[in-house]
Amino acid sequence: MAIRKVMGTEIEYGITVKNDRDFDPISSCVLLVNSYREEHSAQILWDYDQENPLADARGFQVEGEKYTPNQQENIARNKTLVNGARYYVDHAHPEYSCPEVTNARDLVIHEKAGERVVEASRREANRVLPAGTQMLLYKNNSDRKGNSYGSHENYLMDRRTSFKQIAEHLMPFFVTRQIYCGAGKVGSENRSRPCVYQLSQRADFFETEVALDTMVKRPIINTRDEPHADREKYRRLHVIVGDSNMSEFTIYLRNGVTSLILAMIEDGALNRDLALRDPVRSIKDVSHDPSCRGEIELENGRRMTPVQIQAEFLEAAQNYASQHELDEITRDVLAKWEYVLEALARDPMELAREIDWVIKKSIIEGFIERKGLDWGSPQVQMLDLQYHDLRPDRGLYALAERQGRVERIVSEEEILHAIHNPPEDTRAYFRGGCLRRYAQEVFGVNWDSISFGIGDEPIKRVLMAEPLKGSKQHVEDLFEASPTAAELVRNLRS
């Protein structure tokens, strides 16, 4: 039986300062992240001891320097939040890694809460910038000049499922899921062939099938093997092929369908031969075809449209659903997936309320028609960028949402709540709870550990190797019985 698909996303945001000739992304990121203040914040280290981004899922360790900043730099670049998230500076981008959740609906809530955190700190940062300048943040993945930054999904998987098996089934799934996961992009880049509009922000950047890299020669399937949990039992599938999505419906479908497919792989429920002849080429061909009707070639010589390939996955999933007890959210995801594939087969533009790339395309087409512009005009490029603008009063997705033009999955109240509260059914609850209660004694944090510095005693590290342990149900009584960090540590020992 498949294990519970604990999941989360890591989103890197585009950052710029308008009217600043000397704009420096790194210092702007440090300012941004440090402008976020919480009631329970303290100087807490991110615990790099626990990290190993150079382990490869194919069973080896890659040579390379492990990044470990000094203590001061560490604190300046890393914030762990009371909702269990990590908000930090990654290279030249601010990044928000949401807390671990167990379903696609909570994922939407927490990814959206992340946007609000970044926007709140942006506004605060702007108070200290010189008059006439303004920091701006974009939840997208490209500057349209060949530079891309990521949007990564993570899914907990059973270590017993071989990586080879995972990669085999995921390849055709990832190449085609962009028909309902793409965030849309005007034009092409990275030496990809010219087009006016494409489904995905990221497709142009994938140059190889399977590899460990994330910054150069990006692979469709990433092999980073860093489970942030018990490595004997789990792997964490690190998905780098996705776009940063604005639409709640799109985020919900992206994580909901992908987690279902992964559960099916664990249960051996996928046995269709959908291997592609040339995935790296096909991912671009699919992205460059807004009709979604172009065929791609399979290894066995068949030719299928991306909608047909997804329909094969859907059919397998429906069979799987008839034989397994699936939760209500997964059933809802399945129904929405079917609805979307049917609409894509008829006319993708029917999804102008649901799917990011279609919402964006319909806005741009309306604008072009009204203004008599063409796809190459600077205003059209501006619309593309501004769709992802985090400002509630200037972002075009935000505008479409305000006008009731897009479908929503979660409520405003749930998003606001998630800014200050962790999910209750994973170890994020323990992490967030410790920060809320004992911030001054928390010394360092990582996904699978939290350490305490109490008085002059040696640092004590609490390991959290089980992502589902540390939930409200597990630790509520422990917190109640531990008014101080010293008592918590004592109670954990007894």
Q: Using CB under 8 A, which residues numbered 425 to 444 contact another protein?
A: 439-440
| DSSP collapsed to 3 states, the chain | CCCCCCEEEEEECEEEEECCCCCCHHHHHHHHHHCCCCCCCCCCEECHHHCCCCEECCCEECCCCCCCCCHHHHHHHEEECCCCCEEEEECCEEEEECCCECCHHHHHHHHHHHHHHHHHHHHHHHCCCCCCCEEEEECCCECCCCCECCEEEEEEEECCCCHHHHHHHHHHHHHHHHHHHCCCEECCCCCCCCCCEECCCCHHHEEEEEECCCCCCEEEEECECCCCCCCCCEEEEEECCCCCCCCHHHHHHHHHHHHHHHHHHHCCCCCCCCCECCHHHHHHHHHCCCCCCCCEEECCCCEECHHHHHHHHHHHHHHHHHHCCCCHHHHHHHHHHHHHHHHHHHCHHHHCCCCHHHHHHHHHHHHHHHHCCCCCCHHHHHHHHHCCECCCCCCHHHHHHHCCCCCCCCCHHHHHHHHHCCCCCCCHHHHHHHHHHHHHHEEEEECCEEEECCCCCCCEEEECCCCCCCCHHHHHHHHHCCCCHHHHHHHHHC
Kindly state the smallest distance separating residue 336's Cβ from another protein, in Å: 4
Segment 79-108, which members bind another protein (CB under 8 A)?
90-93
Tokens at 276, concatenated = 């592609």
Segment 193-252, which members bind another protein (CB under 8 A)?
214-216, 218, 240, 249
Other CB atoms within 10 A of residue 158 CB: 16
Q: Are 33 and 94 in contact (CB under 8 A)?
A: yes
Judged by CB under 8 A, does residue 168 bind another protein?
Answer: no
Kindly state the smallest distance separating residue 183's Cβ from another protein, in Å: 15
Which residue among 59, 66, 130, 145 contacts another protein (CB under 8 A)?
145
Q: Which stretch binds another protein (CB under 8 A): 98-106, 225-233, 408-416, 467-475?
A: 408-416
Judged by CB under 8 A, does residue 378 bind another protein?
Answer: yes
Q: Which is nearer to another protein, 395 or 470 (CB)?
A: 395
Judged by CB under 8 A, does residue 6 bind another protein?
Answer: no
Kindly state the smallest distance separating residue 4's Cβ from another protein, in Å: 22
Q: Are 236 and 157 in contact (CB under 8 A)?
A: yes
Kindly state the smallest distance separating residue 148's Cβ from another protein, in Å: 6
Q: How far from 124 is each of 32, 34, 76, 119, CA to CA, in Å?
A: 8, 10, 16, 9
Which residue among 22, 63, 127, 455 contacts another protein (CB under 8 A)?
127
Active site residue 90: yes
Judged by CB under 8 A, does residue 407 bind another protein?
Answer: yes
Q: Which is nearer to another protein, 90 or 230 (CB)?
A: 90
Catalytic residue among 90, 230, 278, 285: 90
Judged by CB under 8 A, does residue 48 bind another protein?
Answer: no
Which residue among 338, 414, 466, 487 contacts another protein (CB under 8 A)?
338
Which residue among 139, 152, 288, 361 contacts another protein (CB under 8 A)?
152
Give the per-residue contact string, 264-303, with another protein (x = CB under 8 A; - = no). ----------------------------------------
Judged by CB under 8 A, does residue 399 bind another protein?
Answer: yes
Segment 316-335, which members bind another protein (CB under 8 A)?
332-333, 335
Residue count, binding to another protein (CB under 8 A): 86
Pairing of strands 151-158, 134-138: unpaired
Judged by CB under 8 A, does residue 37 bind another protein?
Answer: yes
Q: Which stretch binds another protein (CB under 8 A): 67-75, 144-152, 161-169, 299-307?
A: 144-152
Judged by CB under 8 A, does residue 18 bind another protein?
Answer: yes
Which residue among 22, 325, 393, 480 contacts another protein (CB under 8 A)?
393
Kindly state the smallest distance separating residue 186's Cβ from another protein, in Å: 10
Judged by CB under 8 A, does residue 164 bind another protein?
Answer: no
Kindly state the smallest distance separating residue 412's Cβ from another protein, in Å: 5
Q: Which stretch binds another protein (CB under 8 A): 114-122, 192-200, 292-300, 475-483?
A: 114-122
Kindly state the smallest distance separating residue 435's Cβ from another protein, in Å: 12
Give the residue numbers marked as catalytic.
90
